[in-house]
Amino acid sequence: QVQLQQWGAGLLKPSETLSLSCTIYRGSFSDYFWAWIRQPPGKGLEWIAEINHGGSTIYNPSLRSRVTISVDTSRTQFSLKLTSVTAADTAMYYCSQVALAGNSLYNYWGQGTLVTVSS
Amino acid sequence: DIVLTQSPGTLSLSPGERASLSCRASQSISNNYLAWLQQKPGQAPRLLIHGASSRAAGIPDRFSGSGSGTDFTLTISRLEPEDFAVYYCQQYGKSPWTFGQGTKVEIK
C-alpha cells in the first residue's frame, strides 16, 4: 500500500505561514494531479487546492487569497503554503495524488499532518 | 458552491447486509464528476468510486456507485467487518470541489 510522505510544522502562532510538503509517487502513469485537503478535528473534509502535471492550479475561493500550491520542477514533491493562519485553520491536513494509467485511476494519500494554530 | 447532502447520517447494519448511501447535490453535477471516499478513524480517506460509477484501482467489487445529475448512491453489496467507517461523497464537476457531511456506517 503506497502512502505519500508529508511533512511540515505542526504548531503555528496566529499570523504565521503554514508550509507543508508531500512526496510524489512516480509510476507508469499517463497523468497526475495533486491536491491538499483538510479536516478540522471531529469535522468533515474541505478541499483546499489542486495542481496538475502541467502546473495548472485550482483553488478553493474561500482560501484563494492566502493559499499557494506548487510542484517542484523535477516532479518529486508538491507543497502548500497558507499565509496569515488563525485558529480556524487548525486541522489535519492531507496531501493526495491521483494518477491515471490506461482506464485505471489510482489515488494515494499522505499520513496527514495535524496543524494547530495557537498563541 | 454545490452543496452535497448525504443521508442517512448514520446507518446501523450487520456484517453481510447491504448498505445504500445517498448523496444529493444542490445542482446538477457536470459529467457526473462524483466520487465516494471511505474514512476510518485516525486514517486518511480512501477513494472508492470516481465518475459516479467507476471503481478506483484495487477497490473490491462489493462497492458500486450509481446515479446521475443530482442524485447518487453508493451501494455496498455485503458488508465486511472492515467496511464500517464514514463515507463521504465529493463533487469535482464545478470549482470549488465540495464534500458531503458524511454517512457513518456502524455495526448494529
Q: What is the mean pLDDT of residues A51-69?
A: 95
pLDDT tens for each residue of B12-70: 999 999 999 999 999 999 999 999 999 999 999 999 999 999 999 999 999 999 999 99
Kindly list the residues from chain B whose CB atom is less than 8 angstroms away from the CB atom of residue A47: 90, 96-99
pLDDT band at A1 (very low <50, low <70, confident <90, very high): confident
φ, ψ for residue A88 (rounded to 5)? -65, -15
Give, for A93, the enclosing helix (H) or strand (E): strand A91-101
φ, ψ for residue B94 (rounded to 5)? -145, 130
pLDDT band at A83 (very low <50, low <70, confident <90, very high): very high
Q: Which residues 31-50 of A have a C-beta within 8 angstroms of B? A: 37, 44-47, 50
Query: Over 90: is that where the pLDDT of A112 sits?
Result: yes
Residue B8, pLDDT score: 97
Whether A60 and B96 lie within 8 Å, measured CB to CB: yes
CA distances, A4 to each of A21, A22, A65, A98, B101 (Å): 10, 7, 27, 11, 25
Query: Over 90: is that where the pLDDT of A104 sits?
Result: no
Average pLDDT, chain A: 94
> Looking at chain A, which residue has its C-alpha nearest residue B38?
A45
